[in-house]
Each structure stands twice: as structure tokens, then as C-alpha cells.
Amino acid sequence: MSETKTITIFDTTLRDGEQSPGASMNMEEKLRIAHQLEKLNVDVIEAGFPIASEGDFEAVRKVAQVIRGPQIGGLCRANDMDIDRAWEALKYAGERGRIHTFIATSDIHMQYKLKMSEDQVVETAVNAVRRAAGYTPNVEFSAEDAVRTRLPFLARVIKEVIDAGATTVNIPDTVGYTIPSEYFNIIRYLKDNVPNIERASISVHCHNDLGLAVANSLAAVQAGAAQVECTINGIGERAGNCSLEEVVMALRTRHDILPFSTNVHTEHIYAASKLLSTITGIVVQPNKAIVGANAFAHEAGIHQHGVMMEKSTYEIMTPESIGLTQNKLVLGKHSGRHAFVQRLNELGYELTKEDIERAFLRFKSLADQKKEIFDEDLDAIVADEIIRVPETFKLLQMNVSSGSFAAPTATVEMEVDGKRKKTAIMGDGPVDATFKAIKKLTRSKARLLHFSVGAITGGTDALGECTVRLEEGGREVLGQGAHSDIIVASAKAYINALNKAASVAKRTTVHL
């Protein structure tokens, strides 16, 4: 295998990934992720769906203005209004701006959703691509639900949109339905039956409903696909998308049988994973491939002995290759600002002077309580002090009394829309009492769906981290809070979720 083909990595964390329940991001958060994706050196950043809301439009426009390396994409339906709005945001990226338009092609979508005939779908797709090509030659077309589309019709659509000006054609597994061998054959069919297919790059966008998104993407690459659409940590609609870190490291690790490479700087993968988890509150499970806490952990005696003798006995890639450091205990109460800032930079954070000062003060306060500061503590500090939504509700102070002889009671004082309010209320336990007090002060009707507590690091002095999921008005949001007092952490998580619910604008989502 003397010739190596470079696969384009199209990251849609800011679009499809953000459609995960509770994962909506404000503009500042999107920009932080975009800068980290720029460090990763992905080829394309799909920054959002500009027509969905004013907030989404502004986020795409801002990303197009400030990100210099990758191409910047914006999703739009196959109609003039969507396409015009997309380019209005993307034009700041110039030649790097990519209009990504789509329409469904499967019988089930055409019959029940679009209520359109085959000819109408083809005409709509062609008109959309032509309009987009009038703005930029960088046009991508997606045949939504392609894997459930009859192949002769799919080939027809793809031929027509390429003739109309599409330079990338995406064959998405919208509902995570296919399996690798079938997907391989679909891509090969298009390669063999679309006469102008060499004039465009074939892209794949796989969902993970059957846990096969990465496997399907790799099969498509072997069949001739030149672009993989994926997300950090595999987040996205329903069961998520193809995981960027998994597909990239699979191509790198199995280069012996996969003659492909990417432009991704893999040493920034772990920082990207942690940053996204911090911003969205969606925690990576310990056994997650590549970035999970156990991905490079060895407990079995045989494994430990093998790794001590030669790491490659049980490690097929190095921790350093994704940006993991061997020594995480680098900071304490005697550490200075320079070491603190350097470690934040290594973790992928680029903060303003004001943010650094706030985070450093919190770090010093925590260092007085703990002997050792871990990377996870720093993530929690940044999440709690810096990465936050506008505070409609703010916790001022609280006190909780609880025990086996008295009813648990929480006294909570908050700032609600700039006004100080205070109440005391009893509950079934200290957390229940706290949440009831917060709900009373904020007049919230949110329903608690999930509540979890965990220690960020080991030891009795560890920071406690709480995550809550709330549902209000048919929309779910996640909130996070960290504090050495677990009840305070619970209150902060609950208030964080309420602030997200108050600040996230209602937006239209699409399934691609």
C-alpha cells in the first residue's frame, strides 16, 4: 500500500452534536469549541443551522469571522430562504464557506414528510444546489435517509446535483440503520453507477442507533468515501454520531490495512473531549473508547505486568498520542499563576485576563482546602467560574439542616432577575428541600428527570460534582455544579440548568 489517501474530517459537533437533548450552547461556548476544533485541525467545522434562530445565525457568522484554518459550513434545507440566510452568515469565511443543503430521498420520507414525487425531489435538490453554487463553489448536498433510498433513484439524485454544482455529496445513515457490508455496497454502487461521481467527493454521515456509526464510516472509506462527518465524543441526535476520536485513531492505529490518513492533530483530542463535556454536562462513560477514564487504565495483574515490561503488549496507542499526560498532580497551593495558566492551556482552555484572574482565585481557595489539585478540578473550576450561561438566577447563600431527629430544612437566598429573595422549606432530604426552595424562589415549573452525584477526584476532600436534567416546556436541559459541599454543588447544578432553560432560545432542529 504505497499510496495514502487523506480523508477529510467534517466535524458537526456544533450542529448535529448540539441537537443532543440538553446540549444547546450559547455563542461563547460555541466559539470555545470552534477554537478547539481549529487546534485539532479538522478540515470542516459545521457551525450550525443559520435559519433555525437568530442565535444560531449569529454563532455561525461569528465562527466564520474568527476561525481561520478549517472550512466553515452551515446547514440549510433545499429552499431559497434557507440558502440565502446560510450564505449571509458564511460569507465572512470567503472561499472557506461551505453551504450544506439537503432534502430527503427515501420513499418513507417522500411519502409521509415531504409529500413529494421523485421528480419534485430531484427538481428541488437541483434548484437548491444551483442557488448555493451561485454564492460559492463549495457546495455540499445531502440525500437525507440515503441508506433507505432505492439505489437507482439515489444514483439519479446524486448525478443531477453534481451536474448542478455540488462538489461534495453526502450519503447519510440518518437513522443509524445500516451495517458495514451494506454501507460499503451502497458507496460502491454509487461509484459504479453515477457517471459524473469523480467530479465530487463522497461524504458519509453515520448515526449510532445500532452502535455501528464508526464501523460504517470506516467501511464507507474503504469503499471510496473521501469525507467522514463526525462529532467529538460522538454526541448528537438520539444515540449520537460517528465519534471523531474513534474514527481518526482507528485510521491512525490500523494504517497497516487502512491506507488512509487525516490532518487531525490527535494530541488535542483529549482536551477537546474534556472541554465539550464541561460545556454540555454530558459526561463520557469510563469505558468510552479513546477518551474514557478507563481507556488507558490497567487493573488485571497480567495486564499490569505486561505493560510494565512493554506498553505495546496491551496498549495499541499511547496516551500521549491523544494528549493525555502521565502526571496529573502538577498543582498545589504553592503553585503560581504561570504554572496555573500553562496547565489550563495544556487542557485546551484559552481564557481572557479577567477569566484567568477569577479562575486563579478559585484555584487558590480550593488549594487551601485540598492537598493536591487534579486536572479534573481545573475543569470544574473553569466550568463553574467561566463557562456559564447568563445568570437570570444566582445563588447567594444557603444553609441546610438535616439529621435523624429533625425534618430536613433548606434556607436559600437567591438573586432572581436582580432582586434578592429568601425562603426556607422542608423536604424529604437535604437535596429535596434545597430543590424545593429554589423552585419556589424562581417560580419554576421544571420537572426533575435525572440527578447524579460524583466525586471529581479521589479522597474525602474531593470536589463533589452534581448533574441534573430538567424538563420544562417540552425542552430538556442539563445543569452542572461543583463544590466541596455536595448540597451546595446540587443547588448550583439545579440553578445552572434553570439558567440554561431561561437563556436557550427555542430553535428548529432537523434530522440529517
Has residue 509 been placed in a domain? no
Residues 429, 341 share a domain: no
Residues 262, 162 share a domain: yes
Q: Is the pLDDT of residue 295 over 60?
A: yes
Q: Is the pLDDT of residue 274 over 70?
A: yes
Residues 82, 217 share a domain: yes
Has residue 440 been placed in a domain? yes
Model confidence band, residue 404 (pLDDT cutoffs 50, 70, 90): confident
Q: Is the pLDDT of residue 504 over 70?
A: no
Model confidence band, residue 328 (pLDDT cutoffs 50, 70, 90): very low
The number of folded domains in the chain is: 4
pLDDT tens digit string along 188-239?
999 999 999 999 999 999 999 999 999 999 999 999 999 999 999 999 999 9
Query: Is 100 within 8 Å of 73 (Cβ atoms)?
Result: yes
Has residue 508 been placed in a domain? no
pLDDT at position 310: 66
Smallest CA-to-CA distance from 50 within 94, 16, 19, 15 is with 15
pLDDT at position 509: 47
pLDDT at position 343: 79
Residues 185, 109 share a domain: yes
Residues 459, 478 share a domain: yes
Q: What is the dihedral of CA 494, 496, 501, 506, to 10 degrees?
A: -150
Has residue 291 been placed in a domain? no
Has residue 286 been placed in a domain? no
Q: What is the CATH number of the domain that holds 445?
A: 3.30.160.270
Q: What is the CATH number of the domain that holds 238?
A: 3.20.20.70
Q: Which three cell numbers stand for residue 224?
A: 471510496
Has residue 510 been placed in a domain? no
Backbone angles phi, psi at 67, to 5 degrees: -85, 130
Residues 308, 337 share a domain: no
Strand partners, 471: 447, 476
Residues 409, 334 share a domain: no
Range of the domain at 303: 296-324
Least confident of 134-143, 348-357, 443-452: 348-357
Q: Where are the alpha helices (DSSP H) in 67-179?
A: 80-90, 107-109, 118-133, 151-164
Among the candidates 254, 280, 306, a domain finishes at: 280
Residues 135, 267 share a domain: yes
Residues 404, 364 share a domain: no
Q: What is the dihedral of CA 19, 347, 497, 76, to 10 degrees?
A: -20
Has residue 388 been placed in a domain? no
pTM score of the predicted model: 0.80
Model confidence band, residue 484 (pLDDT cutoffs 50, 70, 90): confident
Size of the chain, expressed as the number of residues it contains: 512
Residues 425, 367 share a domain: no
Among the candidates 336, 356, 383, a domain finishes at: 383
- Name the average pLDDT for the chain: 89
Distances (CA, A) of 80 to 85, 238, 416: 8, 29, 43
Please, what is the angle between helix 337-346 and helix 375-385, to 10°?
A: 90
pLDDT tens digit string along 104-155?
999 999 999 999 999 999 999 999 999 999 999 999 999 999 999 999 999 9
Has residue 290 been placed in a domain? no
Among the candidates 344, 364, 383, a domain finishes at: 383
Residues 313, 271 share a domain: no
Residues 450, 432 share a domain: yes
